[in-house]
Amino acid sequence: MTAAAAVAPRGLARIRPRLRRREAVLLVLVYVVLAVGGLSLGMTRTGEATVAGWQLLVTYGLALAFVHLAQTLAGRRTDQVLLPAVGMLGGLGLLVMIRLPQDLVTQDVGSLELGLAELQTLWLCLGLGVVGVLAVAVRSDTWLRMYKYTWAFAGLALLALTFVFGIDQGGARLTLVVGPFSGQPSELLKVILVVFLAGYLAEYRPLLASERTTLGPVRLPPLPYLAPMLAMVALGMGVVVVQRDLGAALLFYVVFLAMLYIATGRAAWVGLGVALGAIAAVALFLAFPHVRDRVSVWLDPFADPLGAGFQIVQALHAFARGGLFGVGLGAGLPEIAGRLPVPAVHTDFPLAAIGEEMGLATVLGVLGLYLVVLERGLRIAAAAADPFRTLLAAGLALVVGVQALVIAGGDLRIIPLTGITLPFVSYGGSSILANALVAGLLLALSDRGIEPPPPPRTRGPIMRALRGRGT
Amino acid sequence: MDPFVLALWAVRLSLVALIWLFLFAVVRVLLRDVRRAAAEPGAELGRLVVVASPDAQPPVGARFPIDAVTTIGRDLASTVVIGDAFASLEHAVVTYRGRAWFIEDRGSTNGTYVNGSLVDGVVPLAVGDEIQVGRVRLRLDRGRR
């Protein structure tokens, strides 16, 4: 008996299906929510007990089940909460897309003309495919760890391409068009930036944590070792600012400060960073008229309710109409004079649509789901085997959490509105795929069977610098 | 009242209720995880794992959960007892100060090495570093939470 087991190839012997009961239970709850949501929309629309867009909901449900089954069959011991939480956010987003007018976005694929919800289903399924592949196939993080500069330059090159070949859309040059495909590289750049920062900070952490540069009585961080990282961050953010993608710039900066704090544990640096950020914000305010517009609209949207403040005023009215439990899916205010009450509702303001039709209770629920994703990410970070994985997991979770915070705050007029997407909920291929990358990497990092980290380096400039310190 | 309107009303409220039910189910799983992690014995700051030990005292693979101050040496009163002829009685001390690990050689005869370089004074230690005491090599790992 034992001889037969020993003969089996090692790779195959290790693959043993493992039940994921908690994930299955939570996924069933997601299915129930999707079914009831579809029913609610169908009843409002047709006046009969039908489920609106059931083909799309079933397709999405099958894609979720596929990721669950792939991990079960491969016997992965990954986190069991992340997929249902992300799946719920994606599902709520899909319900909103099914409800919105389908001609907001259309694309011809061959002879087929796909509408908003169909395209979103397509992107969600592709995204879930990415999640499944990453969760099952990633057994080692060397490909991220060793090539951090390669990734960083690839990301910046992508941004530079947008400069040259990008097209203007709504005053910001964000969209890169290659043949039939178009995408927003800044979404992908946020993932690449986290990978680079995790690699860099993990390597230089011992040096950064030991303050050596002193300027009179002021103890400064070891500037020579911070310079490459600061240059990279400044370059990335500068490009993003010039492209007028202020939401992404804010996101990058907050995540950078948070990761620096996690790596070094020095609150003073974060204070310094926040002060520098405030100065930069004032400079941007003075330098760019569109930043001034954003701030004045935020301070008083009702000054010009039909012009600059139109979007935010309509969003606030939508939230107010919704009340505590919403007016019901599909029962929200129809189009006014052929256009939607809230412009760009499918990308920047899905939260307003949720707030109007499903109420404050659901908005709070959605924010709770982002907290859950953040908690899982930080827990994965705390349990990680080495600093690189800790920083990577924490950074990835923070990217999702901070992005949700920035756009939700903008939608609710708590901070100035910056046009970024609500992760997993908003319409958009780049957004869905980039956030799927985040979810997939987090799942892979949470696997307790993942390859152990490589031994630390014993040679090289960092160890030499550290050794020089000891004497 | 029209039964259809009533049914629609029930459906759309149950949608909100179900979303919250899902959130509570998730939070229950999270709470269970947190409780289980807290109930696990041996909340330790870090651990030393024996990587190489010619005399098998301690054996390779042995794990020592360590606290803020850990003495390493041949002395039986040490936190980590090294049964190696090349180790001194009071060989080295590993400390955890605030947020970082440090190691100090306690005037041992054969010296303490971190990742192959001789320790002189107090030297910072990172998770994953290898300490050599006598002929025994230990790796500093993260503790279990």
pLDDT (average), residues A214-222: 61
Model-wide pTM > 0.90: no
pLDDT score, position B107: 86
Decide if A386 touches B, using CB distance below 8 A. Answer: yes
pLDDT (average), residues A223-227: 70
pLDDT (average), residues A312-322: 88
Looking at the domain assignment, is residue A146 inside a domain? yes
How far CA A92 is from CA of A45, A61, A245, A413, B46, in Å, comes to 18, 12, 26, 22, 42
State the pLDDT confidence band at A186, using cuts at 50, 70 and 90: confident
pLDDT score, position A173: 57
- Per-residue pLDDT of B67-111, as tens digits, reads 778 889 988 888 888 888 889 888 999 988 767 888 988 888 888
- Per-residue pLDDT of A134-173, as tens digits, reads 998 888 888 888 888 888 888 878 777 777 776 665 555 5
Q: How far A471 CA lies from chain B's nearest CA (Å)? A: 7
Looking at the domain assignment, is residue A211 inside a domain? yes
Is A418 a residue whose pLDDT tops 90?
Answer: no
pLDDT score, position A5: 44
Decide if B52 touches A, using CB distance below 8 A. Answer: no
Q: CA-nearest residue of chain A to B105?
A: A470
Phi/psi for A108 (5° steps) reads: -90, 120
pLDDT (average), residues B113-120: 88
Is B145 a residue whose pLDDT tops 60?
Answer: no
pLDDT score, position A369: 95
pLDDT score, position B41: 58
- Per-residue pLDDT of A330-383, as tens digits, reads 887 766 555 567 777 888 889 998 998 899 999 999 999 999 999 999 999 988
Give the Cα separation of A95 and B79 in Å (integer): 60
pLDDT (average), residues B50-57: 85
Radius of gyration of chain B (CA): 26
Of A26, A456, A470, which is closest to B126 when you measure between CB atoms?
A: A456
Decide if A47 touches B, using CB distance below 8 A. Answer: yes
User: Cβ contacts (< 8 Å) between A205 and chain B: which residues?
Assistant: 126
Give the Cα separation of A309 and A202 in Å (integer): 44
Which of the listed ranges A212-221, A242-251, A446-455 does the model predict with the highest average pLDDT? A242-251
Angle formed by the axes of helices A82-99 and A54-74, nearest 10°: 170
**Is there a contact between A33 and B22 if contact means CB atoms under 8 Å apart?**
yes
Is A442 a residue whose pLDDT tops 90?
Answer: yes
**Is there a contact between B127 and A386 if contact means CB atoms under 8 Å apart?**
yes
Give the count of alpha carbons within 13 A of A286, CB side only.
Answer: 5
Looking at the domain assignment, is residue A264 inside a domain? yes
- Per-residue pLDDT of A450-470, as tens digits, reads 677 776 665 666 666 666 554
Q: How far A269 CA lies from chain B's nearest CA (Å)? A: 15
Is B117 a residue whose pLDDT tops 60?
Answer: yes
Lowest average pLDDT, out of A364-373, A402-411, B38-47, goes to B38-47
Give the Cα separation of A271 and A405 in Å (integer): 20
pLDDT (average), residues A220-228: 68
Give the Cα separation of A150 and A392 in Å (integer): 16
- How many structural domains comprise chain A? 1
Coil, strand or helix at A141 = coil
Decide if B32 touches A, using CB distance below 8 A. Answer: no
Looking at the domain assignment, is residue A282 inside a domain? yes
Query: What residues contact residue A35 under an 8 Å CB cut-off, 6+ apart?
Result: A51, A57
* Average pLDDT of chain A, as a whole number: 82
Strand partners, B124: B102
Residue A159: give the domain boundaries: 141-287
- Per-residue pLDDT of A57-81, as tens digits, reads 999 999 999 999 999 998 888 889 9
pLDDT score, position A470: 44
Looking at the domain assignment, is residue A412 inside a domain? no
Looking at the domain assignment, is residue A185 inside a domain? yes
**Is there a contact between B16 and A358 if contact means CB atoms under 8 Å apart?**
yes
User: Cβ contacts (< 8 Å) between B21 and chain A: which residues?
Assistant: 29
pLDDT score, position A177: 65
Query: What is the DSSP code (8-state) at residue B25?
Result: H
pLDDT score, position B25: 93
State the pLDDT confidence band at A180, using cuts at 50, 70 and 90: low
- Contact residues, A window 400-459, toward B, CB-based 8 Å cutoff: 453, 455-458
For chain B, the straight-line distance linking the first and the last C-alpha, in angstroms and rounded, comes to: 58
Looking at the domain assignment, is residue A250 inside a domain? yes
Q: Tokens 């709770």 sit at which residue?
A: A368
Give me the sheet containing B80-81, strands edge to edge.
B80-81, B69-73, B92-97, B100-105, B122-125
State the pLDDT confidence band at A7, using cuts at 50, 70 and 90: very low
Decide if B10 touches A, using CB distance below 8 A. Answer: no
Give the Cα separation of A339 and A332 in Å (integer): 14
Of B16, B120, B123, which is closest to A359 when you measure between CB atoms?
A: B16
Is A248 a residue whose pLDDT tops 90?
Answer: no
Q: Residue B19 region, left (φ>0) first, then alpha (ψ -120 to 50), else beta?
A: alpha
pLDDT (average), residues A74-101: 91
Looking at the domain assignment, is residue A274 inside a domain? yes
* Average pLDDT of chain B, as a whole number: 85
State the pLDDT confidence band at A308, using cuts at 50, 70 and 90: confident
pLDDT score, position A160: 77
Whether the complex's predicted ipTM is more than 0.90 is answered with: no
Lowest average pLDDT, out of A21-25, A177-181, B8-12, goes to A177-181
pLDDT score, position A408: 92
pLDDT score, position A93: 94
pLDDT (average), residues A123-129: 94
More confident residue, A409 or A163: A409
Strand partners, A107: A114
Q: CA-nearest residue of chain A to B11?
A: A40
State the pLDDT confidence band at A212, using cuts at 50, 70 and 90: low
